[in-house]
Chains A and B, each alone.
Chain A
């Protein structure tokens, strides 16, 4: 029913309608929306990532289905809860970190995913990537990157914790689930398969050996900054950040052998106004085409392995889940973190303060 704007030829009725344009102008967004087959509201992290999603996902999806995608900032867990509990959900889809798959479900904040609409069969196998209430969005990892002007390349996690042979500061993400506890345990000789449940005391004891050499960063952009300008020699940072720094000309090397794989997830908050359209979007975003498109537009890996066949080899080798880290990356125990984040944070804070 929607008219192609390019073939618009004014008729008398159209001209008459223009007479009321003064009023209509105020209601323009509503009019535009009414012409389409509805709309979904997608709450995102914003910035250039949102721009990438618009190009790779939102606009093609609207073209295909007529459903517009409006993105809004401020996807915090606190706001999701406030929204759902006030009975006034405005968002249809929210992108979140994986711990929310369990935290959100436990607090009864999420709609179950309609797997009759969303095909989960092509999604990568692995611990808990799919739950009744969430689907994965893209893969990313936290990995060891180093400033090659300052440090020789560490080959093992034990090297990362050896400040004699590998001098300089280490940049770790400040939150307890920034993978540095896992790194400490691996450095201390724990086998990857035996990591969870984490032995926090042992991990903190190992961290204590390099205590004065740790620089905690608050935002990922800050972590990238520390490595680029040499304040830190070695960092455990998101792969996208390290790649970005390297592409921008910083003397940074990435050690794909020392990486932790994780993902971001998409959820539908309870009471979402356009639930059915949201399910159709999730189904679309998980097609191999859409996954390949987002992996081309941003430095995240596709959660559908098939998509790798459509991505140039050179690009694939820089992405999370790509051939360069296959069988080497440790998958983070996000379910365990969803249940233990609060308690572990208390312990880590006590250690930081001591």
Chain B
């Protein structure tokens, strides 16, 4: 019985969104992707270049690796923060929310400059560490992959914290203590009860951060070293410096396929689909 009316209802709910994205996104992007096959020298010349030239394979690999690292770092920092956000009073909530939202309000270039001021060898943090006597020289914190990770984690953290906090706010706050009163150790109460219940938020956050990181290029370019070349930088270069749209489209298509594959794996083996409420 529910099947038919539900399909009708979900169809009515989905239709405006489907039409909107089909016209304003899918069709324009599909046309652009089609250009990646449109070279007179052969449909796959641009793909040959992507896969035969070791630079591109390496850049794709680095991009995937870095995005994964950022997503994991965000989870490690974001989970406790979301928990704290959820159990704080109104003032504490407002303060944490403010801190979470501040990165958004600071212009990207200014923020990156802020990190350089803090992290460079003559910067505040190295100065502080020398002052305390922890180090002698300077720890290289910026213009390398460390700098990229620090900068990107800070920018992406809100995308982890907000979905997590939204999910946690729906949970019964007495749950962990209830589990404890039944004799579970604090660790067991967390890993057996609380963590599984917040899993949708964890996955949503990981997915958001990972996918957004894939397309980033300003921060890696400003805070990274010469080796921190990411795919989006090359796409931007081909569109804005050499006007090689077909090749840029081919690089984007590869990025798309890589993401779809990863998403499929996540869905298949980690039940990512549950996240969307599809039963």
Contact = CB atoms under 8 A, between A and B. Distances in A.
Report if A and B touch in the complex (beta carbons < 8 A): yes
Interface of A: 76-78, 81, 103, 107, 174-175, 214-216, 218-219, 222, 225, 229-231, 341-342, 345-346, 349-350, 352-353
B243 A81 contact: yes
Contacts, number: 57
B241 A353 contact: no
Given A345-B237, A349-B55, A353-B59, A230 B242 contact: no
B240 A78 contact: yes
Contacts of B243: 77-78, 81, 103, 107
Interface in B222-277: 222, 225-227, 229, 234, 237-245
Nearest to B225: A216
B122 interface: yes
Given A350-B54, A353-B55, A353-B227, A222 B122 contact: no
Interface in B45-66: 53-55, 58-59
Given A103-B243, A349-B55, A350-B55, A230 B226 contact: no
Interface residues of B, number: 28
Nearest to B248: A78
B241 A230 contact: no
A341 B241 CA distance: 8
A218 B237 contact: no
B54 A77 contact: no
B58 A353 contact: yes
Contacts of A175: 241
Contacts of B54: 350
Contact of A230 (B122, B221, B239): B122
A241 to B, nearest CB: 15
Nearest to B109: A219
A227 to B, nearest CB: 13
Given A174-B221, A346-B53, A352 B120 contact: no
A103 B122 contact: no
A225 B143 CA distance: 14
A76 B59 contact: no
Nearest to A347: B55
Nearest to B239: A78
A214 to B, nearest CB: 7
B121 to A, nearest CB: 7
Contacts of A219: 109, 222
Nearest to B55: A350
A27 B222 CA distance: 43
Given A78-B240, A81-B243, A342-B244, A229 B122 contact: yes
Contacts of B225: 216
A7 B55 CA distance: 68
Contacts of B238: 342
Contact of B242 (A76, A174, A215, A342): A342
**B53, B226, B237, B245 pick with most chain A CB within 10 angstroms:** B226
